[in-house]
Structure 1
Amino acid sequence: MNDNTTQTGPETKSSGRLAGRIAVITGASRGIGAAVAKRFGAEGAHLILVAKTVGGLEEIDDEIRAAGGAPSTLVPLDLRNFDAIDHMGASLYERFGRLDILVGNAGLLGTLSPVGHIDPKVWSETLDINLTANYRLLRSFDPLLKLSDAGRAIFVTSGAATKASAYWAIYSASKAALDVLVKTYAAENQKTNICANLLSPGPIRTTMRAKAFPGEDPNTLRAPEEITDLFVELASADCQRNGEIVRVPQ
């Protein structure tokens, strides 16, 4: 892990609600993950940013520091390397002794295709990132979240999880399974200091959205920075919501 820490939009006011909190964010180099990283940095959190590309992480870290945030810990990692997730948990324990916030944001669209035409390799890769990697994160970080005075886990889901739309089998199935996984984890932790929730952002101006809806005008969609308030709420130590799918108001 490399020590290197995002600026909020002009409409966002920092409250310092996450001051001193230690937060892991996956898929942090762009889109929703980058926006959450910037906002959490502005709120005073120490960030462990995870993504595949070093350059993308460094750009976000530069923005965070330019806005007055502390340097982040950067973790270039393909989340399909499950053993590395275990090693990250051990490293975080040695360095910080706890984890306060986990944001499982990284995700893949897969391919929009009839079920019978889905490439098994694409199926496996999408499930690995959208579901199995999040299970491995919970498995690795559960002891660290329990060492926090208020462990908070937030996973990004989708309205596609509740639909059976033609050609969306991989993405919808992976998000539906993620919903069940996180709700189960939340139920298991009802009597602990951990709260786990899912956040469904709705239509947001991201690269994945553009891939799924190539004819859509991105200027009609909200920017990722516009939905970070809910992430701060769910990450805060005083938030008591648990086992919910929190939907961004449209």
Structure 2
Amino acid sequence: MTARLDGRVALVTGASRGIGYELAAALAAEGAHVYCVARTVGGLEELDDRIRRTGGSATLVPLDLLDYEGIDRLGAAIFERHRKLDVMVANAGMLGVLSPIGHIEPKTFEKTLATNVTSVWRLIRSLDPLLRASDAGRAIMMSSGAAHSAKAYWSLYAATKAAVEAMTKSWANETAKTNLKVNSVNPGATATKMRAQAMPGEDPKTLPTPQEVASKILPLALPELNVTGGYFDVRENRFLDYHMPG
């Protein structure tokens, strides 16, 4: 049986662990050549071994997303090699700190904003032309329910994810008449390192695994997807808000 992403090129940030790791592996298993971006070299090498064992292919990109010029170089390298990008998963992010809003240290605020928002904009800036060059470009932008609930002490993380959702919606509107489909994803509570940081007393065995979550996100990368500007809720396993281009 032909894999659903044969001959296609994908990029996943935050690929060394958690949901990003599992999405990168799933994309490769479907035949895509995956650019796996993360700071942690060991996690990338482990991912590469897994992808190769299943007959897939990947390019490892050890990169701190705060290296904005590095993001630009990555886009140029993909252009030189492939002339296009079919799938982008903007998954990397950090929790920052759970704190009363007036107690957040400026350096923590600025680093979290840079990691969760500015780096995503730089990815879009670098990769948008490549995604538009695809016959079925797909952008998957990881968000969080925190962007909507804005619970006490979650102001920093919630604000960054709300910003990403706003950028995603605007980008989708800008590209509505192209082959590019741009959507936000709320993965929900997942047994990841970030979740454990936020909820240290929680039993991770009560949560979906990153692999389970990734399997529900994968269809958003497929060429047959015809939704853009949507908000996909993994727990509901459906779009709660979307637009189907006419």
- TM-score class, shorter-chain normalisation, is over 0.9
Out of 221, 224, 228, the position equivalent to 1:242 is: 228
Q: Quick one: which amino acid aligns to residue 198 of structure 1?
A: S
CA deviation profile, 1:121-160 (whole Å, cap 9, x unmatched): 1111111111111111011011101111111100110000
**3-state SS, counterpart of residue 34 of structure 2:** strand
Cα distance change of structure 1 residues 110 and 15 upon mapping to structure 2, 3 Å threshold = farther
Aligned to 1:55: 42
Return the alpha-carbon distance in structure 2 between the equivalents of residues 214 and 23 of structure 1: 33
Query: Equivalent residue for 1:26?
Result: 13
Give the equivalent residue in structure 1 for 2:64.
Answer: 78
Report the counterpart of residue 128 of structure 1 in structure 2. 114
Aligned counterparts of 1:198 and 1:236: Cα–Cα separation in 2: 15
- Segment of structure 1 superposing worse, 84-93 or 24-33: 84-93
- Partners of 1:126 and 1:226 in 2: CA distance: 27
Question: What TM-score, normalized by structure 2, do the two folds share?
Answer: 0.93
Q: Following superposition of structure 1 onto structure 2, how do residues 136-147 of structure 1 map, counting pairs within 5 Å?
A: 136-147=122-133
1:45 and 1:82 map into 2 onto residues whose CA distance is 25
The residue number in structure 2 matching 1:191 is 177
- Map Cα deviations across residues 41-60 of structure 1 (whole Å, 9 max, x no partner): 11111000000021110111
CA distance in 2, matches of 1:116, 1:15: 54
Matched, 1:160 2:149: no
- Structure 1 residues 15, 115: closer, same or farther in 2, change over 3 A? farther
Letter in 2 for 1:233: P
- Structure 2: gaps (5+ residues): 237-246
Deviation of the 1:229 alpha carbon: 3.0
Please tell me whether the aligned partners of residues 23 and 215 of structure 2 are also in contact (alpha carbons under 8 angstroms). Answer: no
Question: Does structure 1 conserve the Cα–Cα contact (< 8 Å) formed by 2:20 and 2:91?
Answer: yes
Identity %: 52
Distance 1:97 1:149 in 2: 12
Rounded Cα–Cα distance in structure 2 between residues aligned with 1:228 and 1:157: 14
CA separation in 1, counterparts of 2:18 and 2:235?
A: 19
1:215 to 201, 212, 216: 201
* Equivalent pair of 2:217/2:234 in contact (CA under 8 Å): no
State the 1:116 CA deviation: 1.1
Once residues 86 and 69 of structure 1 are traced to their aligned partners in structure 2, the CA distance between those partners, rounded to angstroms, is 26
- SS in structure 2 at match of 1:243: strand
Alignment deviations for residues 76-110 of structure 1 (CA, whole Å, 9 cap, x no partner): 00001111111111111011110000000001000
Q: Larger deviation: 89-98 or 230-239?
A: 230-239
Distance change >3 Å, CA 22–CA 215, structure 1 → 2: same
**One-letter code aligned to 2:11:** V
TM-score normalised by structure 1 residue count: 0.92
CA distance in 2, matches of 1:150, 1:139: 18
Aligned partners of 1:53 and 1:208: how far apart in 2?
Answer: 15
2:23 match: 36
Ranges in structure 1 where 5+ consecutive residues have no aligned partner: 1-13
The answer to whether the 8 A contact 1:17-1:232 is kept is no
| Amino acid aligned to 2:173 | A
Structure 2 counterpart of 1:17: 4
Two-structure CA RMSD over aligned residues (Å): 1.2
How many residues are treated as equivalent by the alignment? 236
Shift of 1:17: 1.3
* 1:68 Cα offset (Å): 2.3
CA drift of 1:20 comes to: 1.3
Match of 1:45 in 2: 32
Q: Distance in 1 between matches of 2:111 and 2:7?
A: 35
CA drift at 1:227: 1.9
